[in-house]
Amino acid sequence: MTEKRPNEMPDVAASQAPQINGTLNWVGMNRIALPLNIQDAHIGVNKVNAFVQTYVNICNPDVKGIHMSRLYLLLSEFSDNQVLSAANLREFLAHMLDSHEDISDQATLNFEFDYVIQRKALKSQFSGWKDYPTEIRATLKDGKVDLELGIHVPYSSTCPCSAALARQLIQQQFSKDFGDKASVTPEEVEAWLRSDKGTFATPHSQRSIAKVWVKLDESVEDFPITDVIGVIEDALQTPVQTAVKREDEQEFARLNGHNLMFCEDAARRVKSALNKNDKIFNDFWLRIEHLESLHAHDAVAIATKGVMNGYEPLLSR
């Protein structure tokens, strides 16, 4: 037995037995602030400021605790020297387990950050920066790595029912104003439509959110963050804007008028679009939230891809 030096600092986690022997599913740290460079499959490297959760399990019931400082220093070194990609994240999880030999056989990481990218205006030459709350989850279990990507995409939704009711009121007002005339000229109709009476009633619309989780295929090497955002926004057609001039606002109004959506419509659009990208996403879970302007509550629709042993249709993730 090695004799302990007088000034050697004690290591309680390594030298003491647990008060009660037993295994633990996960032990680690939450909300580690970490700057990262992320490899985006579409735009290349993008810098983010993330909050990280890092955990390993305790599969040896006789071990008192894990080496939290080792996990922290591994993350810090990674942040300083590497770009985060799907490929090297798989390798990093293996390094986490190597640092906990004889203690752990599973590891997991969660990165949470605002992903900021530049988006062009609808019509004008301007552009602006838009943020998308994003998460990356990685788990190493039984020698297999699962990578998941979660993104919140804001958009606008206009209610089809409200639009139909508004059109009825406009039609009724038009009949009231012109019903006693034998004929009406195009100029009179155009003037009426441009007046306040042309918007005698308007449908309600609201900011809405598509919350999507996708499980990445093993062949994916870079994170398809911008690509996933593009798939969702192309499906919905009414993304929230950044820089807006009058021509952009008019185009936004046109897009809303041509894409009337209940939450059920939006969910089916996104589900269909994600199903067409099955070479990148093995599975998906989505939650559509219309933050109602008519009601004091929100309208919600949830869907999954429906694969065996895949995402369950849980209310939240």
**pLDDT 10s digits, 238-251:** 999 999 999 999 99
Decide which of 139 and 181 is more confident.
Answer: 139
Q: Is the pLDDT of residue 193 over 80?
A: yes
Q: What is the pLDDT of residue 1?
A: 45
Which is nearest to 161 in space by CA: 292, 55, 40, 66?
292
Q: Is the pLDDT of residue 143 over 50?
A: yes
Q: What is the pLDDT of residue 314?
A: 95
**pLDDT 10s digits, 86-114:** 999 999 999 999 999 999 999 999 999 99
Whole-number percent of the chain with pLDDT over 70: 95
Q: What is the pLDDT of residue 15?
A: 66
**pLDDT 10s digits, 22-64:** 999 999 999 999 999 999 999 999 999 999 999 999 999 999 9
Q: What is the pLDDT of residue 10?
A: 67
What is the pLDDT confidence band of residue 222, given thresholds at 50, 70 and 90?
A: very high
Mean pLDDT of the chain: 94
- Rg of the chain, C-alpha, whole Å: 27
Q: What is the pLDDT of residue 278?
A: 78
Query: Could you give the domains of the chain?
Result: 12-159+204-304 (3.10.270.10), 162-199 (no CATH)
**pLDDT 10s digits, 252-285:** 999 999 999 999 999 999 999 999 987 788 899 9
Task: Give the CA distances from residue 159 to residues 34, 165, 203, 209, 286, in Å, rounded to whole numbers and listed in that order.
Answer: 41, 10, 7, 15, 20
Q: Encode the chain in three state secondary structure.
A: CCCCCCCCCCCHHHHCCCCCCCCEEEEEEEEEEEEEEEEECCCEEEEEEEEEEEEEEECCCCCCCCCHHHHHHHHHHHHHHCCECHHHHHHHHHHHHHCCCCCCCCEEEEEEEEEEEEEECCCCCCEEEEEEEEEEEEEEECCEEEEEEEEEEEEEEECHHHHHHHHHHHHHHHHHHHCCCCCCCHHHHHHHHHCHHHHCCCCCEEEEEEEEEEEECCCCCCECHHHHHHHHHHHHCCECCCCCCHHHHHHHHHHHHHCECCHHHHHHHHHHHHHCCCCCEEEEEEEEEECCCCCCCCEEEEEECCCCCCCCCCCCC
Q: Record the tokens describing residue 120, joined without a space.
A: 């062009």
The answer to whether the beta carbons of residues 308 and 283 sit under 8 Å apart is no
The answer to whether the beta carbons of residues 295 and 262 sit under 8 Å apart is no
What is the pLDDT confidence band of residue 13, given thresholds at 50, 70 and 90?
A: low
Which is nearest to 300 in space by CA: 251, 250, 264?
264
Which is nearest to 245 in space by CA: 159, 109, 122?
122
Q: What is the pLDDT of residue 85?
A: 97
Q: Is the pLDDT of residue 148 over 80?
A: yes
How far apart are the C-alpha atoms of 299 and 53, rounded to whole Å?
31
CA 103 to chain centre: 33
**pLDDT 10s digits, 276-294:** 987 788 899 999 999 999 9
Q: Is the pLDDT of residue 5 over 70?
A: no
